[in-house]
Amino acid sequence: MTRIIGIGSALLDVLARVSEEFVAELPGGKGGMVLVDGPEMAALVAQLPADASLVPGGSAANTVLGLGHLGLGGRLLAKVGDDEHGRLYRSNARAAGVDEVAFKVNPDVPTGTCISLVTPDSERTMRTSLGAAASISPDEVSVADFAGCTHAHIEGYMLFNRELMFHLLKTAKAAGCTVSLDLASYEVVGACSDILADLLGEWVDMVFANEDEAAAFVGNKDEEAALVRLAELCDVAVVKLGKRGALMRRGDELAQVGPRVIPPVDTTGAGDLWATGFLYGMFTGRTLAECGEFGAQVADEVVQVMGAAIPPERWQALRAGITA
């Protein structure tokens, strides 16, 4: 049975509805992710509405916990603090059927936090303080962490630590895993433009990009050209187009998911959960078109709630439809 290990930053998401003006006054662009330090995070939290909510998050974690809810199981390789938030994070993973054997714990640094600012157009803008997640080092990660896994799904944010990323890739391959990489944000693509093509070509079997990340990668907004370029580097390439659907390629096999009609409440986690459905399809032997449709179905569910936590009853409905 396929067992997927997700690798990324363990973060508690703080979800808040804010105005366009609130986001416009922040450093950095709308719709992306910017790293901030502890004092900056504290100052930003103090400005948030009183009804902001706290839920476990992190890109790779969202994807793999979704796979757990669909019955595929999984594992997380991530680092948390020895604090209440870290214990909440691990408990949430267990509840989804994801094992904890590859978790790392930092007794001196708190669990990381990501503020997800949701504007009236449902777009989310993220500001992240990595906390304990930033303290994971290559010497903590070994082939043993991948034991029993056949595929590793890595979030692109790990590229901000290049030494760690290359160690993760080498260790995953040494353990016999195939690798998927979600490019995560256009800031990641821009910051890693000098190494990204070579990294994809040498180490990555499956790549996920959204429209902004694809444009940053090829230097223009030609999404079909971006798909072609990514497919030259990886066995499977996906360009997600938000409500316009998605483009996919596996060798000579091409597929497209059509536009989505469900109005979003919040797009936090939509790309992560899209990858959940797609990976479920890939590792249960479905066609490329079916994989894309599964991804769209899961993403359609998560955009109807605040944050990336799909309610249990909706997971039940998804399991009934997707796993049939």
Place of tokens 């330090």: 37
- CA distance linking residue 308 with residue 294, whole number of Å: 17
DSSP string of 258-276, one letter each residue = ----SPPS--TTHHHHHHH
Angle among Cα 196, 186, 199 to the nearest 5 degrees reads 10
201's CB contacts (< 8 A; 6+ apart) are: 232, 233, 234
Domains of the chain, each with CATH number or no CATH: 4-9+59-111+130-322 (3.40.1190.20)
> What pTM was estimated for this model as a whole?
0.89
Q: Say what the pLDDT of residue 313 is.
A: 87
Distance CA 217, CA 1 (A): 34
- Residue 270 to residue 303: CA distance in whole angstroms: 6
Minimal CA–CA distance to 161: which of 35, 29, 31, 6? Answer: 35
Q: What is the pLDDT of residues 40-67, one digit of tens each?
A: 888 888 899 888 888 888 899 999 999 9
DSSP string for 178-199: EEEEE---HHHHHHTTTTHHHH
Q: What tokens appear for 171 in the block?
A: 């260790």
- The crossing angle, in degrees rounded to 10, of helices 196-203 and 162-174 is 10
Tokens 């962490």, located at residue: 145
pLDDT in tens, 214-254: 999 999 999 999 999 999 999 999 999 988 999 999 999 99
- pLDDT, position 319: 87
Res 278: pLDDT: 97
Contact 308, 267 (CB under 8 A): no
* Cα dihedral: 89, 91, 93, 94 (round 10): 170
Give the max Cα distance, the chain: 52
Residue 240 confidence (pLDDT): 97
Separation between Cα atoms, residue 301 and residue 31, nearest integer Å: 20
308 in Cβ contact with 62 (< 8 Å): yes
Query: What is the model's pLDDT at position 1?
Result: 58
Among 225, 230, 152, 224, residue whose Cα is nearest residue 189: 230
Residues of the chain with pLDDT under 50: none
What pLDDT score was predicted for residue 324? 63
Question: For residues 120 and 244, what is the distance between their CA atoms, to the nearest angstrom?
Answer: 19
pLDDT confidence of residue 45: 85
Which pLDDT value is given to residue 312?
A: 86
Owner of token pair 């503020």: 115
* Helix and strand totals (H; E) in the chain: 12, 16
Nearest to 244 by CA among 221, 216, 228: 221
